[in-house]
Amino acid sequence: MENKFDLIIVGGSMVGATLACALADSPLKIAIIEAHTPEAFDQQQSHDLRVSALNIASEQVLRNVGVWQSILDKRSCVYRRLKTWELDESRAATEFDCADSQQDHLGYIIENRVIQLALLERIQRAENLHLFKNNVASIDIQAGASLLTLDNEKQLITKLIVGADGANSMVRRAAGIGIHSWDYSQSALVINVEMAQGQQDITWQQFTPSGPLAFLPLSGNSASLVWYGEPDKIARLSALDNETLCQQIMQQFPAALGKVNKVLAKGAFPLKRQHAQQYVKPGVALVGDAAHLIHPLAGQGVNIGILDAAQLAQTIEQAAGDRISSADEYAYNSDDDFSSLAVLQDYERKRRNHNLLVMQLMDSFYRVFSNQIAPLKALRNIGLGVAQRIPFARKKAMQLAMGITGPLPPLARTSNQ
């Protein structure tokens, strides 16, 4: 049947499209539903506001699904160092260098649109992948045969529906999966700027009493700044004209920033934590923001979402009998249906606890550096200083953030892991 699919992925942004590309060589017939595909890329365009800090694990997944070179051919910025400090850069600072882990870089800062476009180009080339540029009108989930109706009244039937449709996931609601959620009472202002200095290879974060200030290098002499603070403060900054905002940046950001020539674009968003009470039900799985939202302090949100996609692809392929890896042990037989709860729970076991650990680490980071109680301030300054002076601790923290240690699906592993 033309409208019958083995798998439907609702959401074709970075995580959903990664899942599709990871299954591009499988025998499965797959539909991807994404109404809002990005405009074509031109290197003469200014950088987009929405960028992601991809770690080595995410890079490896994107290499393995065949899109990494296409991303590099468009636009990216490699970073090799990461620095954090509180108030005074000369004291209680920690700098991470890729050389400490025998790597030639820590990660890349890349525009979300660039990543998504490379993935969509791969989807268009795959015979088993079918992209529908529509909104979803309704979803009726039934184990083994879910019905999805598009806004043009076309109906699609599938054994497994994957929610990759963001924090307000329609799939999650249709499946009756609840969430644990709370606001951080903090917003972030993302600002693209033109710098006097050329491209840098460091990303840094300074912690201040009113919230962190962050610098992410972009290609050329562009950069992305992130200004965290109370919602009212961020709203006031957002309302400033670009020239006045540039003056505020030069007054409030540390000397490490250097001179900012001008503000190019800005956008604000509230910060929220959210975690689905479960990732799977019979015939349903959640990935990325549909399953979890975390504080963006360390830029791990998209990285754990890409690991979700890589792990779910591995679980589905294992159950479908395609590219079975003898190196991994599974709690089910490869003859089991890939949409069954027994199969999907393997994916949930491998991802939920890891994601929860990352979320809790980010929460702890946020709470510790948002607290102005004098003893705690002293302890965190000591902690930053100790981290800088103990190479082993610094190396282990860096390896975890880089995605070269911890529970990684095969698609995310480098050749020496």
CATH for 27: 3.50.50.60
Amino acid letter for position 30: I
C-alpha separations of 80 from 35, 220, 379 in Å: 36, 16, 28
Phi and psi (nearest 5°) for 30? -130, 135
Specify the pLDDT at position 103.
Answer: 86
Does residue 208 lie in a domain region?
A: no
Does residue 25 lie in a domain region?
A: yes
Total Cβ atoms within 10 A of residue 15: 31
Does residue 264 lie in a domain region?
A: no
Does residue 378 lie in a domain region?
A: yes
Specify the pLDDT at position 284.
Answer: 97
Does residue 163 lie in a domain region?
A: yes
Does residue 22 lie in a domain region?
A: yes
Specify the pLDDT at position 80.
Answer: 95
Range of the domain at 129: 4-76+111-181+273-400
Specify the pLDDT at position 373.
Answer: 45
Does residue 349 lie in a domain region?
A: yes
Q: What is the pLDDT of residues 157-191, one digit of tens each?
A: 999 999 999 999 999 999 999 999 988 889 999 99
Q: Which residues contact 240 (CB under 8 A, 6 or more apart)?
A: 248
Q: Which residues of 270-288 are buried (b: 16+ CB within 10 A; e: fewer)?
A: ebbbbbbebbbbbbbbbbb
**Bridge partners for 111 per DSSP:** 51
Q: What is the mean pLDDT of each run of 10 residues along the chain (417 residues)?
A: 91 98 96 96 95 95 97 97 80 80 91 98 97 98 93 97 98 97 91 95 90 94 96 97 98 96 97 95 97 85 96 94 43 63 95 88 63 44 44 52 75 76
One-letter-per-residue 3-state SS of the chain = CCCEEEEEEECCCHHHHHHHHHCCCCCCCEEEECCCCCCCCCCCCCCCCCEEEEEHHHHHHHHHCCCHHHHHHHCCEEECEEEEEECCCCCCCEEEEHHHHCCCCCEEEEEHHHHHHHHHHHHHHCCCEEEECCCEEEEECCCCCEEEEECCCCEEEEEEEEECCCCCCHHHHHCCCCEEEEEEEEEEEEEEEEECCCCCCEEEEEECCCCCEEEEECCCCEEEEEEEECHHHHHHHHHCCHHHHHHHHHHHCCHHHCCEEEEEEEEEEEEEEEEECCCEECCEEECHHHCEECCHHHCCHHHHHHHHHHHHHHHHHHHHCCCCCCCCCCCCCCCCCCCCHHHHHHHHHHHHHHHHHHHHHHHHHHHHHHCCCHHHHHHHHHHHHHHHHCHHHHHHHHHHHHCCCCCCCHHHCCCCC
Q: Which residues contact 84 (CB under 8 A, 6 or more apart)?
A: 93, 94, 204, 205, 206, 207, 384
pTM assigned to the model: 0.90
Task: Report how many domains make up the chain.
Answer: 1
Specify the pLDDT at position 369.
Answer: 53
Does residue 62 lie in a domain region?
A: yes
